[in-house]
Amino acid sequence: MKVLIELPTWMGDAVMSSPAIRNLIDHLNAKDVTFIGPKINIEIYSSLKETTAVFVLNKNLKDLSTILKLEKYNYFFSFRSSFRSSIIKWAIRSEKKFQFSKRKYIVGHQVEKYNNFINDSIGISSKPGPLDISKMKTNRPRKKKRNLGINPGASYGSAKMWLTERFAEVAQNLSDDFDIFIFGGVNEIEISNEIEKIFIENNISNYKNMAGKTSINELIELIAEMDVFITGDSGPMHLAAALQIPSISLFGPTKSNETSQWKNKRSLIIKKNLLCQPCMERECPLGHRNCMTEITSKEVLLNVKKLLNL
């Protein structure tokens, strides 16, 4: 059984699709699975035991031409609803082809939407299990201090981002008991450097700025070592959920009932429930970002203590 899977665009969605992918692999008894998609998401699935091949697929003609060279498959599943993916679906040589539709799957958590797509495609009634990124926590010797991870960025847009100075303030207040790790991708280096500057100005030295310095595998290994993770709605938030890391998730313009951490019992959500949210916009259409700016450092600190029973 040869299966080809096109992964979602965003890291968080790639992680949230993992229960559906596990169900389809198990039901089809697929032992020969090829993944196509963005590089960072391909890395997440490259270590899956059923993975036999991966192909990075970006928005350029060279990468798109790759699909014309792929062999024939028994099944093709695309977790993307874009017109571009419709073209890929048409071009792929496969006996059966299925594509996710945002217009059809509109109810429930995103994990459930992806799982319903697979159920409908292959005629099963499976339930979505836990997130699965095929990475185990490391067994490195633990230091005396615990680890605090802060993730200030959001690839989707600035509307989802909490204030950098408040991330810094929370971390400073916890720095006597926690070593601090600043997380972020290459597009969040500037934000992370702003937090680092605040640390330096306040003589905080027990931190590591990891923004733009990790592969996806290294990111997973580092998040696995966190004792608490403070984050906006982002890809790393879902990695923390898959690893069952105690997490504080800050929600503003997005729908927490659809993209909150899946099956992480040690997760707390902070959101303000304003009339204008969730707007689902990348940038605040009203220009004030109140859904994020009204979340205070004190609130986050109190929730960290509640989460960890401090």
pLDDT digits (tens, 9 = 90+) for 249-296: 999 999 999 999 999 999 999 999 999 999 999 999 998 999 999 999
In CATH terms, the fold of domain 2-122 is Rossmann fold (3.40.50)
Q: Per the structure block, which two tokens stand in for 52?
A: 């036999």
CATH number for the 146-308 domain, one of 1.10.3720.10, 3.40.50.720, 2.40.50.100, 3.40.50.2000?
A: 3.40.50.2000
The beta-carbon contacts of 275-283 under 8 Å, at least 24 apart in sequence, are 277/252, 277/253, 278/251, 278/252, 278/253, 278/254, 279/159, 279/253, 280/253, 280/254, 280/255, 281/157, 281/159, 281/253, 282/156, 282/157, 282/158, 282/159, 283/157, 283/158, 283/159
Dihedral-angle region of residue 149 (phi above 0 means left; psi in -120 to 50 means alpha; beta otherwise): beta
Task: Please check the confidence at residue 140 and state whether its pLDDT lies above 70.
Answer: no
For the chain, the domains span: 2-122, 146-308
Q: Each residue of 76-116: pLDDT tens digit?
A: 999 999 999 999 999 999 999 999 999 999 999 999 999 99
Q: What's the residue count for the chain?
A: 310
pLDDT of residue 139 exceeding 60, the answer is: no
Task: Report yes or no: 24 and 30 within 8 Å, Cβ to Cβ.
Answer: yes
Task: Report pTM.
Answer: 0.93
Kindly give, in sequence order, each residue whose CB lies less than 8 Å from that of residue 70, ignoring residues fewer than 6 positions away: 4, 34, 55, 92, 93
> What span, in angstroms and rounded, lies between the C-alpha atoms of 155 and 279?
17
Q: Are both 2-122 and 146-308 of the same fold?
A: yes
